[in-house]
Amino acid sequence: MSNKMKKKLTPTQQQYQAFAKAREPKRSVLYNCIKAFIAGGTICTIGQGVQWMFTTYFDFTEVTASNPTVAVMIIISVLLTGFGIYDHMAQWAGAGTIIPVTGFANTMASAAIEHRSEGYVLGVGGNMFKISGPVITFGVFSAFVVALIKLIIQGLGGI
Amino acid sequence: MLKGHQTWIFQSKPVILASAAVGGPFEAAGALSEDFDILHQDIWLGQDSFEKAEKVLLEEAAQKAMDKAGIKKEDVQFFLSGDLMNQIISSSFAARTLGMPYLGIFGACSSSMEGLALGSLIVDSKSANYVLAAASSHNAAAEKQFRYPTEYGAQKPPTAQWTVTGAGAALLGQEGNGPRVTSATIGRVIDMGISDPFNMGAAMAPAAVDTIEAHFRDLSIDPTYYDVIATGDLGKVGHRIASDLLTEHGLIIPDNILTDCGLMIYKPEQPVIAGGSGCACSATVTYGHFLNRMREGKLKRILIVATGALLSPMSYQQKESIPCIAHAVSIEM
């Protein structure tokens, strides 16, 4: 907890939180990192296999194969979400299933499925980006800032 | 009658004429499946939304309790119910179906005992012949409202709990055979500054401790008066904290007396992380398991301390801490 938050707490609250913390099970960072590495690595290896398939058996180059590869990974992830398997994998894998593109597909598919009961427009349409929205918002904004920096440096006669 | 600072003693000792517990598939696979009256294998219950499914759970529990007592709904004066949904829609919509005079209550997961305490007060004051007290929760509906979509792949921390899918109802009357409600202690809101919605056990434990202490102080009795003192849904983490906190405060409750409904309802191999939670956790375990054991004569006196976390999805996004409450109801055979 940040120091700012701690300041707002009364001494009794601080004392209790220390008391409670000593009795809570800890998340094992190392164990979670290892699991995330295995799961994330497996997903990326499958992706690599799909790309290899596109370049070997179809008329794709390494660059043009990336789009259909991502599409295949997304379809697999959405299907696993729909069949109710992805969230169970994620409980074990943690960041391993969130970071790859499959995690992004899962956020959209799960929100869309969940809010189907509120209809297509207000439910599915309105909630699909509920979790993935911030990623897009800040992703686009940071891309804009980086592009701006690049243009300024170029304008000043840089690289 | 008020005793001490915050405890009611019900002199007429309202009788729980009948009670019912309804559960979902996870509860059917759990440790107390024998004590449920109705178990569903489908979390949708044939409905097209989780919210509607929860309403059906509540309707079924209410109807089952009345059927078991052989009392028609026209004879029941008041229906008291609470749940976790925004604007307590499950309770209000079930009340629409039942068509009884209705008081909706909200005490988060403590609603079960809040309803039983208020219902007993109404019966004890002769303001009703029969009162039906109920509470419900639905795992997927609660996850959807308070956390993430059910199929979203986020890893839950080891302090997270599993919301029980189910509903419990108890029919209270002035006369008859059955377990009797003898007293109730109404809790204060306690906030120890915990703001993690995945750590409800630690947030609620101090509220449970406060109410338990108040109960024994007000009634001047010893914890060994009870065969069982069960908190509502503290889970593994909260139970351990509450138990240590009570010991630190000098109120020693033996391990074989102090338990938690959230630790009892599921089997250890079920992936519920730190245990069960939700209104239906204390409601189904009390109205199913505990009352059945009392009717069999295996338990004589029990104290149920239902714990509730009074947060909303908006309050925790605004970085508010989690205020918690606990209400204790004493049931004797």
Q: What is the pLDDT of residues A59-115, one digit of tens each?
A: 999 999 999 999 999 999 999 999 999 999 999 999 999 888 999 999 999 999 999
Tens-digit pLDDT profile for residues A120-141: 999 999 999 999 999 999 999 9
Same domain, A104 and A57: yes
Yes or no, beta carbons of B152 and A107 under 8 Å apart: yes
CB-based contact B57:B283 (threshold 8 Å) = no
Residue B31: φ, ψ to 5°: -80, -20
DSSP B155: P
Selecting from A24, A86, A113 the residue whose C-beta is nearest the C-beta of B153 gives: A86
- Provide the H-helix boundaries in chain B: 25-28, 50-69, 89-98, 111-124, 139-146, 200-219, 235-248, 261-264, 279-284, 291-295, 313-317
Same domain, A120 and A138: no
Closest-approach residue (CA) in chain A for B142: A114
CA distance B227 to chain A (A): 26
Residue A14: inside a domain, yes or no? no
CB-based contact B187:B304 (threshold 8 Å) = no
DSSP B187: P
Same domain, A120 and A156: no
Q: Which helix (H) or strand (E) holds A127?
A: helix A126-127
User: For domain B180-332, which architecture applies?
Assistant: 3-Layer(aba) Sandwich (3.40)
Selecting from A16, A92, A110 the residue whose C-beta is nearest the C-beta of B151 gives: A110
Yes or no, beta carbons of B241 and A23 under 8 Å apart: yes
pLDDT beyond 70 at B128: yes
Residue A2: inside a domain, yes or no? no
Burial class (CB in 10 A: 0-12, 13-18, 19+), B35: buried
User: How many C-alpha atoms does B232 have within 13 Å on its Cβ side?
Assistant: 37
Same domain, A112 and A52: yes
Tens-digit pLDDT profile for residues B76-126: 999 999 999 999 999 999 999 999 999 999 999 999 999 999 999 999 999
Yes or no, beta carbons of A98 and B192 under 8 Å apart: no
Predicted pLDDT at A4: 54
Which range has the worst mean pLDDT, A7-21, B58-72, B132-146? A7-21
CB-based contact B193:B323 (threshold 8 Å) = no
CA distance A90 to chain B (A): 5
Yes or no, beta carbons of B193 and A111 under 8 Å apart: no
Residue A5: inside a domain, yes or no? no
Q: Chain A partners of B274 at a C-beta cutoff of 8 Å?
A: 25
pLDDT level of residue B226 (50, 70, 90 thresholds): very high
Where do we find the tokens 């009611």? Answer: B8
Cβ burial A66-92 (10 Å sphere, 16+ → b, else e): eeebbebbbebbbebbeeeebbebbbe
pLDDT beyond 50 at B242: yes
Residue A6: inside a domain, yes or no? no
Selecting from A32, A90, A115 the residue whose C-beta is nearest the C-beta of B153 gives: A90
Same domain, A103 and A72: yes
Same domain, A94 and A106: yes
Same domain, A103 and A142: no
Measured distance CA(B200)–CA(B206) in Å, rounded: 11
Tell whether A120 is within 8 A of chain B (Cβ).
no
> To probe the interface with B, which of A5, A6, A16 has the most B CB atoms within 10 Å?
A16
Where do we find the tokens 């409904």? Answer: B261
Tell whether A155 is within 8 A of chain B (Cβ).
no
> To probe the interface with A, which of B44, B139, B155 has the most A CB atoms within 10 Å?
B155
Q: Chain A partners of B158 at a C-beta cutoff of 8 Å?
A: 24-27
Predicted pLDDT at A6: 58
DSSP β-bridge partners for residue B329: B184, B304
Which residue segment(s) compose the domain that A38 sits in? 23-128
CATH code given to domain B9-173: 3.40.47.40
CB-based contact B216:B3 (threshold 8 Å) = no
